[in-house]
């Protein structure tokens, strides 16, 4: 498997990073990892919350890099 | 243009206020209670003098102030001499924090992560935030740990949360504070005049505009024996204080009936929103909650866009989403809970809200959310 998919949402305000993540996630299978680059302070809360609501796994936040794994 | 007479505007009738739309933001400010209006006007005629002077008009103002103090103290479960009127809810909290820090000569304030911003700002950097659950209830174990330090000046635990309505376990927090020897400030702004107030506090703060009194009147009750030095004296506006007390007596008399009515409407909103709006999270405690506040977050929705759409439809609501705040940061309450911060709507009810108002809101909401989502391709 190649590296994770990346969503570049730097400079975008919420809910755009989550919308971009959801659109990309829709076409991918369980186990896929997606990294979201987002510097909006709301993203650090909203990306884990999106995972919880949709049943995906939130892996980690490292600065502006938020990693999720699709169920 | 409408406004107060004497400033170039014609005087608005009460019905013109109602025509603006349905006001769903009682948690920010209640529409003034009619009794407050009457009491204010009467006290302007009768209580304009400085209550600190010794002549007859001053004594009259003093009597009005004392009667107001006795009435408010009774509702708060305090003695009249424990009650201080302040320049508003924020001033009450700032006096509480500054006064305990001064008297105890310690700086550290332990507070829940979901306190009102007035508490968080008053505490400043010398503070320890105690985490909360997904529903916004403070973690008492973490509170106990945070209290275990000689640096702690005081603790602050709200009676119930102003954004999501979750009632806090104040009795448990008070027991922990008592055994740690730490005074407890309870911000009861959302509970006063609506529900039974907690006991066990050392200091209790509130704001008159949350119960239908005028803005600019706050209350701070300080239990006898609490180490607190009044840090400053706020000017007392006797007519406004009299109006605040009159409003509080009036809302307190109907509190039980109103709480039951509004709580049922909140329950209806919680259930209907969850059933009719896809991808929505209704947040806060479902049962241990205030009767008048309900909050939900809609996935993929810009809170500001939804707020304006609701406003155009005639509903005034509040939002904790970042785009609706002047700081561009999301609500610290929603962030501390770990719930979705975007697409957030807070509905807070009051006595002038009818069942029909709520049902019309519930009828238009799903379509408005769908429209906002369609614009971003969701």
Q: What is the pLDDT of residues B226-280, one digit of tens each?
A: 999 999 999 899 999 999 999 999 999 999 999 999 999 999 999 999 999 999 9
Q: How far apart are CA B38 and CA B61, in angstroms?
A: 16
Min Cα distance B286 → chain A (Å) is: 17
Q: Are residues B86 and B197 in the same domain?
A: yes
Q: Which of B114, B299, B304, B328 would you mutate first to test chain A, the one with the most A CBs within 10 A?
A: B299
CB nearest A49 (choices: B323, B329, B338): B338
Q: Are residues B231 and B276 in the same domain?
A: no
CB pair distance less than 8 Å for B339 and A13: no
Whole domain around residue B144: which residue ranges? Answer: 34-253
Q: Which of B253, B285, B303 is the last residue of a domain?
A: B253
Whole domain around residue A45: which residue ranges? Answer: 39-66
3-class secondary structure, B314? coil
Residue A34 included in any domain: no
Kindly report the CATH number assigned to the domain that includes residue B274: 3.90.1150.10
Torsion of CA B245, B246, B250, B255, to 10 degrees: -10
How high is the pLDDT of residue B1? 45
ipTM value greater than 0.85: yes
Share of chain B above pLDDT 70, in %: 93
CB pair distance less than 8 Å for B329 and A42: yes
Instruction: Check pLDDT > 90 for residue B11.
Output: no
B23 prior amide bond cis, ω within 30: no
Q: Are residues B177 and B305 in the same domain?
A: no
Kindly report the CATH number assigned to the domain that includes residue B56: 3.40.640.10
| Averaged pLDDT, A16-30 | 96
How high is the pLDDT of residue B322? 77
Residue A19 included in any domain: no
Residue B227 included in any domain: yes
Quick one: pLDDT band at residue B324, thresholds 50, 70, 90? Answer: low
Instruction: Check pLDDT > 50 for residue B283.
Output: yes
Of residues B186 and B325, which shows the higher confidence score? B186
Q: Are residues B146 and B53 in the same domain?
A: yes
Q: Are residues B297 and B188 in the same domain?
A: no
Residue A26 included in any domain: no
Residue A3 included in any domain: no
Quick one: pLDDT band at residue B328, thresholds 50, 70, 90? Answer: confident
**Sign of the torsion angle spanned by Cα atoms B208, B210, B212, B215:** positive
Residue A46 included in any domain: yes
Q: How far apart are CA A64 and CA A42, in angstroms?
A: 11
Quick one: pLDDT band at residue A44, thresholds 50, 70, 90? Answer: very high
Residue B163 included in any domain: yes
Q: Which of B253, B280, B315 is the last residue of a domain?
A: B253
If one counts the domains in chain B, the total is 2
CB pair distance less than 8 Å for B340 and A13: no
| Averaged pLDDT, B363-375 | 98
Quick one: pLDDT band at residue B200, thresholds 50, 70, 90? Answer: very high
If one counts the domains in chain A, the total is 1
How high is the pLDDT of residue B83? 98
Which of A5, A14, A24, A42 is an active site residue? A14
CB pair distance less than 8 Å for A45 and B341: yes
On whether the CB atoms of residues B43 and B217 are closer than 8 A, the answer is no
Mean per-residue pLDDT over chain B, rounded: 94
Residue B73 included in any domain: yes
Q: Which of B253, B278, B304 is the last residue of a domain?
A: B253
Q: Are residues B90 and B155 in the same domain?
A: yes
Instruction: Check pLDDT > 90 for residue B20.
Output: no
Mark whether A14 is an active-site residue.
yes
Instruction: Check pLDDT > 90 for residue A70.
Output: yes
Torsion of CA A16, A21, A24, A29, to 10 degrees: -160
Burial of residue B364 (CB within 10 Å: 0-12, 13-18, 19+) is middle
Q: Are residues B127 and B243 in the same domain?
A: yes
CB pair distance less than 8 Å for A15 and B302: yes
Instruction: Check pLDDT > 70 for residue B325.
Output: no
Q: Are residues B181 and B227 in the same domain?
A: yes
Min Cα distance B50 → chain A (Å) is: 49
Residue A20 included in any domain: no
Q: Are residues B155 and B208 in the same domain?
A: yes
Residues of B assigned a catalytic role: 323
């Amino acid at each position: 498997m190649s590296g994770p998919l990346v969503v570049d949402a730097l400079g975008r305000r919420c809910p755009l990073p989550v919308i971009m993540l959801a659109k990309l996630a829709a076409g991918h299978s369980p186990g896929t990892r997606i990294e979201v680059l987002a510097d909006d302070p709301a993203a650090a809360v909203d990306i884990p919350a999106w995972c919880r609501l949709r049943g995906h796994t939130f892996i980690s936040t490292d600065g502006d890099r938020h990693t999720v794994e699709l169920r | 243009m409408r406004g107060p007479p004497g400033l170039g505007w014609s005087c608005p009738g009460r019905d013109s206020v109602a025509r603006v739309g349905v006001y769903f933001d009682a948690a920010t400010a209640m529409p003034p209670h009619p009794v407050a209006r009457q009491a204010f006007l009467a006290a302007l005629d009768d209580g304009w003098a400085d209550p600190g002077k010794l002549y007859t008009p001053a004594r009259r103002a003093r009597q009005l102030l004392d009667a107001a103090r006795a009435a408010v103290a009774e509702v708060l479960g305090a003695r009249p001499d424990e009650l201080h009127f302040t320049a508003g809810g924020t001033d009450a909290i700032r006096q509480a924090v500054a006064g305990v820090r001064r008297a105890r000569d310690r700086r550290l304030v332990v507070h829940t992560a979901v306190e009102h911003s007035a508490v968080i700002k008053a505490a400043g950097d010398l503070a320890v935030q105690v985490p909360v659950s997904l529903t916004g209830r403070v973690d008492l174990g973490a509170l106990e740990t945070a209290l275990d330090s000689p640096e702690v000046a005081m603790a602050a635990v709200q009676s119930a949360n102003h954004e999501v309505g979750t009632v806090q376990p104040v009795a448990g927090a008070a027991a922990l504070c008592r055994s740690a020897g730490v005074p407890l400030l309870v911000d009861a702004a959302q509970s006063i005049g609506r529900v039974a107030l907690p006991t066990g506090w050392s200091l209790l703060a509130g704001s008159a505009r949350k119960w239908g009194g005028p803005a600019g009147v706050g209350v701070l009750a300080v239990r006898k024996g609490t180490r607190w030095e009044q840090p400053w004296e706020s000017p007392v506006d006797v007519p406004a204080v009299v109006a605040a007390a009159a409003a509080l007596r009036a809302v307190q008399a109907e509190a039980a009936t109103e709480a039951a009515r509004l709580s049922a409407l909140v329950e209806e909103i919680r259930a209907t929103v969850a059933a009719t709006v896809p991808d929505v999270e209704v947040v806060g405690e479902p049962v241990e909650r205030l009767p008048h506040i309900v909050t939900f977050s809609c996935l993929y929705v810009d809170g500001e866009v939804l707020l304006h759409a609701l406003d155009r439809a005639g509903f005034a609501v509040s939002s904790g989403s970042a785009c609706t705040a002047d700081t561009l940061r999301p609500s610290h309450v929603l962030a501390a809970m770990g719930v979705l911060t975007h697409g957030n709507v807070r509905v807070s009810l009051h006595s002038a809200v009818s069942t029909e108002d709520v049902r019309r809101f519930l009828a238009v909401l799903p379509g408005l959310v769908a429209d906002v989502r369609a614009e971003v391709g969701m």
